[in-house]
Amino acid sequence: MILTLQVYITRELLKTFALTAVGLTLTFSLCGGVMNMIQVEVLTAVEVLRILTFVLPIATTLTLPVAALFACAVVYGRFAADNEFDACKASGINIQRLLLPAVGLSLLTAAFTFAFANFVIPSFIAGLQAMVRKDIQKIVASALTTHHHLKYGDYVLYARYCRPVSEAAELKALHVQQAAFLMFDRDELTHCGTAEEVYVQFWGEAERDRPTVEAAMHNVLALDVRHRRLDELPRQRFNPVAVPTRLDFDLQWLTLRELMHFRTRPVELPQITGQLERLRLLVRDMVFYQDAYRQLTGPQKVLRLGEGERRYEIRAARAEQDPDNLRVQLQNVVIRQWWDGRRREFRADRCTLRVKRGFADVPDTVHMTLTGGVRWTDAADPSRVNEPREFALENPPVPAAVLARAEAIGTAELLGLPQREDGRLDPSPALAGGLKLPSLGLGRVLDDARRSLLAEVVKQALKIRSIIHSRLAFSASAMVTLVLAAGLAIVFRGGQLLTAFIISFFPGLMVVVMNIMGRQLSENAATHLAGLGVIWAGIGLLAAADVVVLTRLLRR
């Protein structure tokens, strides 16, 4: 008898659950609930349909717990409203045993949610990224022909005409005519100009680790904004730039295995490695400024740059260094230049030294600008004295010794993290909040950047932990919310849809709100443990409510 009733209730549960899940999933997908998270421009109808095949599993994972809650509230509420549970109780049947179908559905929902959230959905996201990367050439070409501009990394390219160049039925390159470009360094505009032609070359994942875009400009007229200098170049290459996608390196789309990997290795996260490369460039600058100041104020009081046919000897009556960014300002400077067989001597009241980032074919160089009382003579004609208002000298490369010294400062020293025997950095002291970052003696600007990066490492590590706990708690919540919804439906006899909706809504809302609240708190080092407690406290409260409903209210 009891088995017949359980089979009957299970059949009604599965039918209502399946219909509700299908309806919610289609509504959620087609109305943009998940599509808004996937922002891919310039897609055809076929590509949109292909994307929907990846979106539906994501939507299913989000709607399945809601459908299970609603099914339990409707089925058990309708049975109670029709007095079927009263008849079972009068026949001596334990009503609590009739809740086993709800328990079985909760276990099924929890297992499904756990598997999809931690393994299946990240795989679908990876497939979506592969699809976007496969068609990235078409997307870039369409963006240039439609919007006439393209932004990748530190470069912005404007094109008046764009013609695709195809090879073997695959788009491999773009031929851009009448182009203009902007170049940035740390969000600061450094160069702008025009080019008659630009060739944009694409490299797929077969050739590189990630899809990459390279560009070469021809007949370039470029303005160096920082140094107010106009250059004409027959050819200029852009540094290769990895093609980004909107979903790249988002922690919430990583599998559980990847999250557990980065949990102890947050320094290996791509967003951290990108900031680490920029920090290394800053280290290079600080090392050069410090080395230049030491040479100019040392026993010989001379700074030598370059070698062979392209070298400088710089002397100054006074050298001043900014204590924050270590930049050097020279006064009453005398510079001797040997450049491609030509010898000159420069004198000026002031000279500034700046490290200039190189391009694909150009190394990092030192930019020297003379101001105030500038005058220079050429050894070929000593009688002629030139007196420009301001003069920028040819840029010698950054000394190899400086680059070697900057490279010698490892990641462990930059972030102040202890190194384990296997070579990995241990973030535990930073997560515990007891790590004091020692200064490298390379200026306050660098120390601030190091502290900022270390804080980002801690933030990402805490975020990974919060995501893991949030996923586990969200999956486990199905085991308590469904039983609670079924018990409340019996108590309140929620046979009507509105009553069933309210009964299923509030337990689910409580779990989601406390999960989100706990996740936000756990991403802060000061409230990390409290946030994890809040995430699991919601399940604990619902478990206590289950005990009250099953042991007291149902007996009445």
Q: What is the mean pLDDT of residues 146-169?
A: 73
Residues 386, 346: Cα–Cα separation, whole Å: 9
Integer Cα distance of 309 and 502 in angstroms: 83
pLDDT of the residue at 440: 92
End-to-end CA distance of the chain: 23
Per mean pLDDT, which range of 133-137, 222-226, 500-504, 517-521 is the poorest?
133-137
Cα–Cα distance list, 432 to 205, 271, 429 (Å): 39, 22, 5
DSSP-assigned letter for residue 523: T
- Average pLDDT, integer, range 471-494: 86
Mean pLDDT of 23-46: 58
Task: Give CA–CA dist 119/115, Å, rounded.
Answer: 6
Q: What is the pLDDT of residue 300?
A: 92
d(CA 382, CA 378): 6
Counting residues of the chain whose pLDDT is more than 70, the rounded percentage is: 84
The answer to whether the CB of 375 falls within 8 A of the CB of 351 is: no
Residues 6+ positions from 151 with CB-CB distance below 8 Å: 157
The HSE-up count of residue 11 (CA atoms within 13 Å, CB side) is: 6
Confidence at 30, pLDDT banded by 50, 70, 90: low
Tokens of 228: 């107010």
* 320, burial (CB in 10 Å: exposed 0-12, middle 13-18, buried 19+): middle
Contact (Cβ atoms closer than 8 angstroms) between residue 28 and residue 34 = yes
Q: What is the mean pLDDT of the chain?
A: 83
How confident is the model at residue 249, as a pLDDT? 66
Structure tokens at 74: 């409707």
- Which residues sit opposite 350 in a β-bridge? 331, 371
Tell me the DSSP string of 415-469.
HT--B-TTS-B--HHHHHT-------SS-HHHHHHHHHHHHHHHHHHHHHHHHHH
- In this predicted structure, what is the pLDDT of residue 24? 85
- The pLDDT confidence band at residue 343, using thresholds 50, 70 and 90, is very high
**What distance in Å separates the CA atoms of residue 419 and residue 427, rounded to the nearest whole number?**
9
- pLDDT tens for 232-253 read 888 877 766 665 544 456 888 8
Task: Quick: pLDDT tens for 274-296.
Answer: 899 889 999 999 999 999 999 99
Give the model's confidence band at 297: pLDDT under 50 very low, under 70 low, under 90 confident, else very high.
very high
CA distances to 34, 41, 131, 421 from 138, rounded to whole Å, are 24, 11, 12, 47
Least confident of 206-210, 429-433, 519-523: 206-210
Nearest CA to 288 out of 372, 371, 360, 395 is that of 395
The mean pLDDT value for 206-229 works out to: 73
Over residues 325-335, the pLDDT tens digits come to: 999 999 999 99
pLDDT of residue 109: 92
Question: If you search the block for the tokens 């085991």, which residue do you land on?
Answer: 479
